[in-house]
C-alpha cells in the first residue's frame, strides 16, 4: 500500500492530543498553555481531535447515497436499495461494510500515524468518525471484534491498530468489546503486492474463534473492525471464521476503503 512511517513527524505534544476526560478549568488551562492542534498538521484548531479546514478538505468523506452492502458512494442516487455492481457480482460474506473515508494521501497519513508512528492519540478520533458513519450497524450489532494480528507481528509492533480502533468504537457506542474473540492462527505474508486471487489464498483459514470463546459471538450480530479495506480478502476470511463460530450476522466497519482502479472502473457507470 506504500505506507511509510518516514513522513510522519514525531509528535511529542502528547498532552495537547490527550483525549481523556478533562474537567472544565483544567481544559481551559491546558488549551491556553498547549492549544489543540490539527490531527494532521501543526495548525491550531478550536477543539482537540479536530482537523483544520485545509486538511478536512483533503480528506475524501463518504456520504449517502452509497451501496447498502459495500458502502461505496454512488455519484448519483440510484434509488433505494439498489446495489452496486460489485455487491451483485461478488456478494460478500458480511452483511454490510461501512467506512467514513476513501483511502487517499490524507487518510493514509492518519492510518500510518496510528500504525507505525505510535500516534495512539489518533485512535479515539478515528473511531468517532467510524462510528458516525455506521449508526445503523452500531444500533443492530451487540459486540465489537477487531481483526487480530498474528502473535509474532503483535510483539514486533507492540499493539494492534485495529484493536485500538475497535476499543474506541465500543466505547463511543456503548457496545461490548471482545478483542480476543478472533485469533490469527496462521502467519500470513503481507498482502501488499499480491493480486486479488493471491490475497484471498494467502488469508484462507488464517482466523478462528477458539472454542472457549465461542460464546462471545454465537448467535450474536458482530461488528468486525479493521483499519483499511483493500481487496477485502482479510476481512472476508475473518468474517467466515466468525460465522463458523455461530455469529448470526457480521457487519464490517473500517476507517478507509481503498478505491482501486478496478473499483473505479466498476463504479464509473454509476
Ligand atoms: Zn491540518
- Residue 106 CA, ligand 1 centroid: distance in Å: 10
- Residue 9 CA, ligand 1 centroid: distance in Å: 13
pTM as predicted: 0.83
- Residue 12 CA, ligand 1 centroid: distance in Å: 17
Residues 6+ apart with CB under 8 A from 133: 62, 98, 99, 100, 253
Grid cell of 73 as nine digits: 458512494
As a whole number, mean pLDDT of residues 70-98 equals: 89
Give domain limits for the chain. Answer: 60-267
In CATH terms, is domain 60-267 a member of 1.10.287? no
Grid cell of 105 as nine digits: 494521501
- Residue 45 CA, ligand 1 centroid: distance in Å: 8
pLDDT score for 238: 97
The DSSP-derived string for 155-171 is HHHSS-HHHHHHHHHHH
- Residue 71 CA, ligand 1 centroid: distance in Å: 27
Q: Which of 6-10, 61-65, 180-184, 219-223 has the lowest mean pLDDT?
A: 6-10
DSSP 190: P
Helix segments in the chain, DSSP class H: 14-17, 24-33, 53-58, 85-89, 105-116, 123-132, 135-140, 151-157, 161-173, 196-203, 233-244, 261-267
Residue range 47-63, pLDDT digits in tens:
888 899 999 999 999 98
CB 236 within 8 A of CB 209: no
Q: Percent of the chain beyond pLDDT 90?
A: 57
Provide the 10 A C-beta neighbour count for residue 40.
19
Q: How confident is the model at residue 169 (pLDDT cuts 50, 70, 90)?
A: very high
Secondary element (H or E) of residue 253: strand 249-257
Amino acid at each position: 500500500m506504500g505506507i511509510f512511517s518516514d513522513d510522519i513527524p514525531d509528535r511529542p505534544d502528547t498532552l495537547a492530543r490527550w483525549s481523556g476526560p478533562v474537567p472544565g478549568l483544567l481544559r481551559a488551562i491546558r488549551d491556553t498553555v498547549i492549544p489543540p492542534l490539527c490531527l494532521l498538521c501543526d495548525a491550531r484548531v478550536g477543539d482537540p481531535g479536530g482537523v483544520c479546514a485545509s486538511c478536512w478538505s483533503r480528506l475524501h468523506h463518504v456520504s449517502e447515497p452509497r451501496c447498502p452492502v459495500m458502502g461505496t458512494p454512488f455519484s448519483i442516487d440510484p434509488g433505494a436499495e439498489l446495489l452496486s455492481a460489485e455487491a451483485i457480482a461478488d456478494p460478500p460474506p458480511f452483511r454490510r461494510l461501512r467506512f467514513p473515508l476513501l483511502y487517499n494521501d490524507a487518510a493514509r497519513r492518519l492510518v500510518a500515524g496510528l500504525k507505525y508512528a505510535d500516534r495512539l492519540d489518533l485512535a479515539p478520533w478515528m473511531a468517532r468518525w467510524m462510528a458516525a458513519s455506521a449508526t445503523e450497524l452500531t444500533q443492530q450489532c451487540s459486540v465489537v471484534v477487531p481483526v487480530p494480528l498474528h502473535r509474532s507481528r503483535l510483539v514486533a509492533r507492540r499493539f494492534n491498530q485495529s484493536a485500538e480502533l475497535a476499543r474506541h468504537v465500543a466505547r463511543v457506542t456503548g457496545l461490548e468489546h471482545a478483542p480476543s474473540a478472533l485469533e490469527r492462527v496462521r502467519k500470513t505474508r503481507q498482502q501488499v503486492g499480491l493480486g486479488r486471487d493471491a490475497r484471498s489464498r494467502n488469508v484462507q483459514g488464517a482466523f478462528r474463534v477458539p472454542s472457549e470463546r465461542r460464546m462471545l459471538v454465537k448467535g450474536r450480530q458482530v461488528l468486525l473492525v479493521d483499519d483499511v479495506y483493500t481487496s477485502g480478502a482479510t476481512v472476508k476470511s475473518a468474517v467466515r471464521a466468525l460465522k463458523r463460530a455461530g455469529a448470526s450476522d457480521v457487519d464490517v466497519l473500517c476507517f478507509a476503503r481503498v478505491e482501486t482502479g478496478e473499483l473505479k472502473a466498476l463504479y464509473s457507470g454509476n
